[in-house]
Structure 1
Amino acid sequence: GEHCAWYDDVDSCLSQISYYLKDEAERKRIQAEGEQFARRFHTYDQRIANLLEQSEFVNPVQR
């Protein structure tokens, strides 16, 4: 599914804005998918895991 609207330049941004302002159902669909995506892939646990996986990070607990 599509969870956000992408654009490449100002004109395509304005075009997207115009499109989504006219289509409430599509806005709500993307909002719901975006929220689901964020809750699934952008958690605190995932952020901390990413930090701990970095090679330059030294975890003092694992010494």
Structure 2
Amino acid sequence: MGVTEKMWDALTTIIKMNDKVERMAGTMKTQQEKIENLTARIIRLETALEIALSSGIAGKPSPSKRLEHKT
């Protein structure tokens, strides 16, 4: 195996690795968007729950069913 062939193999490997990295970056971006959407949904649900509990719509919660307020 000559030097030229080794260099060509190395260059081919680098190109393949670059393609994999670019695909992984796209996948990570998509996953990050999904995580951010889920986070926003959870915030809206928490807000609705807090409003319902504070206004009495959900009834008087028993002490065992009360949510702890984490700071």
- Same fold judged by TM-score > 0.5? no
Structure index of larger Rg:
2
Whose relative contact order is higher, 1 or 2, with alpha carbons under 8 Å and at least 6 apart? Answer: 1
Q: TM-score, normalised by structure 2?
A: 0.38
Q: TM-score, normalised by structure 1?
A: 0.41
- Quick check: which one's helix share is greater? 2
